[in-house]
Structure 1
Amino acid sequence: MKNEKTFLFLKDHSVSGEQFELIYNQYEGILETHPQPQVEELSKYYESEDYISHTDTKQNLLEQLYHLVRKISLKRKLKLINYYLRRQDQSFKPTRRLLDVGCGTGDFLKIAQNDDWRVIGIEPNINARNIANQKTNNIVIEKLEDYKDLDNKFDVITLWHVFEHIHDLDNQINLLKPLLEDKGTLIIAVPNYKSYDAEYYKSFWAAYDVPRHLWHFSQNGIKQLLEGFGFVCQKTLPMLFDSFYVSLLSEKYKRGFMNPFMAFWIGLRSNLKAKRSGEYSSLIYVFKKG
């Protein structure tokens, strides 16, 4: 039975088939998955061959599309961090330092490393971490608490589709903030439950991805949360490919097959509507440390 705190009932389509609900959080514009698995239970919900960010396989259409989009996105991410480093009010530094939280198999770290960034990655999944370390000469560690070199702060910290997975958001922000240089840049990319594709697919929207996604953000919600910790939102940018990829997976959940033509149409409509509303399927938020 739906109560005043319930936003939506839905299930885990990709792993367990268990039922969950999305409930309103204390922050307006943030939803939380209920019930949330305990930290020690979360790993079992990632035990699926369909969890692409933890592997480098290209066995089917979805995986091939994911890697094609990722290749394009990596170049755009690198361009973005270089742009915001140049905008920081700081004297010339001989080194540029990047922390990528939830780095997966390390492709973004590798492309940044090749561009002369000094990089560190955080990745709790052991299989993904091993792949990342093979690519980057062992600069990926398991968790943020393991980073001890507090004298060497980072110019840029990134969380690409990771923030929604973090169990204790307040604690994570408190850990990240001291690691960032004064006026450093924090970049967070998350799905946007206010988008048209989310509205269209409702409980079948793949970007809800419960219970792996513990939190679900609107633009107002994530800005309110980070501003409470002294960050200032400098820019909000769209991730245009996400509406197509998410719609393709949502079609699979809704109809039992991917239906690429319908997925393309919904993804396109979502992006066209977002040109006016700004509510793209996924958004990149660029925060400046105050």
Structure 2
Amino acid sequence: MNINQDKHFITLLDHSVSKESFSLFLDENLALLATVPQPSADQLPKYYESDDYISHTDGKRTLFEKAYHFVKGIALKQKTKLILKYQNRGALLDLGAGTGDFLNAAKAEGWQVTGVEPSEKAREIAAGKNLTLYPDTANLPDHSFDVITMWHVLEHVPDVNSQIITLKRLLKPGGTIVVAVPNYKSYDANYYGEYWAAYDVPRHLWHFSRTAIEKLFGSHGMVLKDVLPMKFDAFYVALLSEKYQAGKMNYFKAFRIGLRSNAKAAKTGEYSSLIYILQNKS
């Protein structure tokens, strides 16, 4: 996807895998940041080759991983409850399904579930949970889903416009899309700057604001219905950011920064991560 690279925003490192340097450029019209250079499709998989890439593992080796999975269990219940506020039970597609925990939670709540996950490793783990995940959306039928969810996935997609066109193809008229992404306008993003873990370059190719989501989806007939906070993310991201900045996980400071970020966001709406509820109007 081509955007107007109006303004250099920040230069930062891939702290978790390659240690390579990348820049973010701002499209001022969209209020969207782009990672530059963007790795090619052939290059991108190597940046995910890490046992520490936690969404592709069920590992509970460290205190951090144990805490992550404990919080994830709480978040799964919140996610399934949230979706029912906007759409009655029916067919649900989760893109970027990871190891399948959200799909299993949705299935237990009565949804007919389908999942897509590019990572073969993650699909294998999901298979052990009696879930069959597709590697892509190519063979999924048109207009067959009431709800499509993307939990921290859209920022990984090379071409956002093409992805939205695919979402439009798969979603029923009047269906609901749930998109959760990091928010580079949050307090914790500003506080940590180049060490903010949710930039996560180059795995995160795009960095969204509310304006970007509303304009990008609006151009395809999607209406923004609601914006909701992901309050746990401020603590998780602050903890990783502390590791990148100071070389260790400072739990007490990260907790303090997470609290401060959420307190600021209670007034501004700029939480560390945001959930966007969008409706397909046609």
TM-score by length of 1: 0.93
Residue in structure 1 matching 2:180, options 186, 189, 195: 189
User: Which runs of structure 1 show a deviation greater than 6 angstroms over 4 or more consecutive aligned residues?
Assistant: none
Cα distance between partner residues in 1 of 2:6 and 2:55: 35
Partner of 1:126: 120
Shift of 1:26: 6.5
Cα distance between partner residues in 1 of 2:31 and 2:63: 34
Task: For 1:124, give the aligned amino acid.
Answer: P
Cα distance between partner residues in 1 of 2:205 and 2:127: 27
Partner of 1:141: 134
Query: In the TM superposition, what whole-angstrom CA distance separates every residue of 1:106-132 from its partner, at most 9, and x where no partner exists?
Result: 000011112221111010000001111
Aligned partner of residue 156 in structure 1, secondary structure: strand
Cα distance between partner residues in 2 of 1:226 and 1:244: 29
Contact 1:109–1:136 under 8 Å retained in 2: no
Shift of 1:258: 0.5
Shift of 1:134: 2.4
Partner of 2:108: 114
Aligned partner of residue 146 in structure 2, secondary structure: strand
- Aligned-residue CA RMSD in angstroms? 1.3
Cα distance between partner residues in 2 of 1:36 and 1:210: 9
Task: For 1:146, give the aligned amino acid.
Answer: N
Shift of 1:27: 4.3
Shift of 1:198: 0.1
Query: In the TM superposition, what whole-angstrom CA distance separates every residue of 1:156-179 from its partner, at most 9, and x where no partner exists?
Result: 000000000001111111111121
Cα distance between partner residues in 1 of 2:13 and 2:87: 41
Aligned partner of residue 212 in structure 2, secondary structure: helix
Residue in structure 2 matching 1:162, options 153, 169, 179: 153
Cα distance between partner residues in 1 of 2:47 and 2:37: 13
Equivalenced residues, count: 277
Contact 1:235–1:287 under 8 Å retained in 2: yes
Partner of 1:233: 224
Query: In the TM superposition, what whole-angstrom CA distance separates every residue of 1:245-288 from its partner, at most 9, and x where no partner exists?
Result: 00000000000001011100110000000000000000000001
Contact 1:27–1:225 under 8 Å retained in 2: no
Aligned partner of residue 232 in structure 1, secondary structure: strand
Cα distance between partner residues in 1 of 2:30 and 2:161: 16
Query: In the TM superposition, what whole-angstrom CA distance separates every residue of 1:7-31 from its partner, at most 9, and x where no partner exists?
Result: 0010100000000000013642100
Of all paired residues, the percent bearing the same amino acid is 54
Partner of 1:98: 92
Cα distance between partner residues in 1 of 2:225 and 2:200: 28
Cα distance between partner residues in 2 of 1:252 and 1:174: 38
**Gapped regions of structure 2 (runs ≥ 5):** none
Aligned partner of residue 149 in structure 2, secondary structure: strand
Residue in structure 2 matching 1:20, options 10, 19, 22: 22
TM-score by length of 2: 0.95
Partner of 1:91: none
**Gapped regions of structure 1 (runs ≥ 5):** 87-94
Query: In the TM superposition, what whole-angstrom CA distance separates every residue of 1:142-199 from its partner, at most 9, and x where no partner exists?
Result: 011132x33x610100000000000111111111112111110000000000000000
Contact 2:100–2:131 under 8 Å retained in 1: no
Cα distance between partner residues in 1 of 2:220 and 2:27: 17
CA 1:124 to 1:26, structure 2 compared with 1: closer, same or farther past 3 Å? farther
1:202-213 residue pairs with structure 2 within 5 A? Answer: 202-213=193-204
Aligned partner of residue 135 in structure 1, secondary structure: coil
Aligned partner of residue 201 in structure 1, secondary structure: helix
Contact 1:270–1:281 under 8 Å retained in 2: yes
